[in-house]
Amino acid sequence: MTPSISKGFRAAAMAALAAIVFSPSPLLARVFSPDSFTLDNGMQVVVVSNHRAPVVTHMVWYRSGAMDEMPGRTGAAHLLEHLMFKGTEAHPDGVFSQIVARNGGRENAFTSQDFTGYFQSVAADRLELMMELESDRMTNLMMSQEDIDTEREVVREERRSRIENEPGSRLNEQATAAFFMNHPYGNPVIGWDHEIQALTREDMMEFYRTWYAPNNAILVVVGDVTVDQVRPLAEKYYGVIPARDLPPRVEWREPPAAAAQRITLADPQVRQPSWSRRYRAPSYVYGDAEHAYPLEILADILGGGPTSRIYRSLVVEQKVAAAAGAWYNPTSRGPSSFGFYGTPLPGGDIQAVETAMEAEVEKLLRDGVTEEEVQRAIARLQADAIFARDSLQAPAQVIGGAMVIGMSLEEIEAWPDRIGAVTADAVNAAARAVLASEAAMTTLLLPKDDKSKGDG
């Protein structure tokens, strides 16, 4: 297992959070009945008891991610995630992971625009050991220049393999950079390569000392424990770490978009073209947040699987697409997006996909959704939440991911009432507010003949 989050884990985790976990997260929070308390140094602790198996997940979330990097220092949050595994005086390089493995556990970490997280899943009687290890590196991390140089090259290779050598990832990176005109979400989480190369030890220590503090962290423990067992351990290991003065958060705001954008990437590696379109949208805590819950319902109606409007129309009835759908994730500190995607049938016309998708949006804006569609979507979202009930990681992902963007447990637990109260009128109002804009971004990923091979 690599210390940093793997591509597969990142994709699986983010898909779970966005598609299943984050959408119905507050329902899960109520189902799991979390207990919570705050240490004297400001660190928030949440405990979800699940006694079905003698195991626990111990997850620490920091309210700092790529969007908190200094200008010109992109990639610092992600590189620090790597360096967190390099060791402390008490647990030198590699010892942390060796101890977790020796005790039958597994670990990983993840970085996003909004947060950075670290977790271990172990037997319940090893929880104290995990707290000892994690609290130690919260404040005592050692990073030599050699460590930084080594991990910098690991990150650069990660960037080459996952972005620069993947046409779809390259296109998405370019599109995201253009989509956000003023917000740091336009920078890639992994960082721009020339800025990764320029990161210094002073940059890394400054980011670490600024943001890795107990009063900027949330601890979520899920599994075969009780809050009475967790509290004294949290106080023993995390409670003794002094709070730090945190810098004021920059209130990043996007200016209104005034023009449509179209970005095309043609590459010899592409075998099947694809199309997408994204619109600027609010989140739970940014912009016109009253539209967030209706937009969740709308995304399910339009793109929630093989019975959704878009799939049924483009794939089943018109047969112009091999795949088609919609996306929306309201769980972010900053602005979000509402989008559509489609892939033509082999040998098919990508323009036909675009035309059909535009017709579906026009139909939606003209005729709206029905109350029956809304009620079915509500039922599906709530049913999805129930399937995750027995998971040892889902509650930690759900609660931590919501709290780290500024939502309280009370707000999280209010989700069933709020999503259940969404009406067709509210969904239609949200659709008009977001999808009626002509300032959307369209992306096309196209095949390209490789002329470098010559004629033989």
Structure tokens belonging to residue 40 = 């004297």
Distance CA 188, CA 443 (A): 17
CB count within 10 Å of CB 348 equals: 16
DSSP helix, strand, coil percent of the chain (3-state; round to 5)? 50, 20, 35
User: Which of 81, 158, 173, 296 is labelled catalytic?
Assistant: 81
For residue 84, what are the contacts with CB-CB under 8 A and spacing of at least 6? 3, 109, 118, 137, 141
Structure tokens belonging to residue 167 = 């046409």
In DSSP notation, 73-117 reads: -TTHHHHHHHHTTS-BSSS-TTHHHHHHHHTT-EEEEEE-SS-EE
Residue found under tokens 């360096």 = 83
Q: Based on the number of CB atoms within 10 Å of its own CB, is 375 exposed (0-12), middle (13-18) or buried (19 or more)?
A: middle
Distance CA 52, CA 58 (A): 16
Q: Rounded to a whole number, what is the largest CA-CA distance in the chain?
A: 74
Asked whether the beta carbons of 138 and 214 are under 8 A apart, the reply is yes
| 319 three-state secondary structure | coil
Is 81 assigned a catalytic role? yes
Element (H, E) at 445: strand 441-447
In DSSP notation, 31-45 reads: HH--EEEE-TTS-EE
Element (H, E) at 219: strand 217-223
Element (H, E) at 270: none
Q: How far apart are the first and last CA of the chain?
A: 44
| Chain length of the chain | 456
State the angle between helix axes of 292-303 and 371-387 in degrees (0 to 180), rounded to the nearest 10: 90
Residue found under tokens 């005592």 = 140
Structure tokens belonging to residue 182 = 């003023």
Distance CA 48, CA 192 (A): 38
Distance CA 332, CA 282 (A): 9
Q: Report which DSSP code applies to 312.
A: I
Active site residues: 81
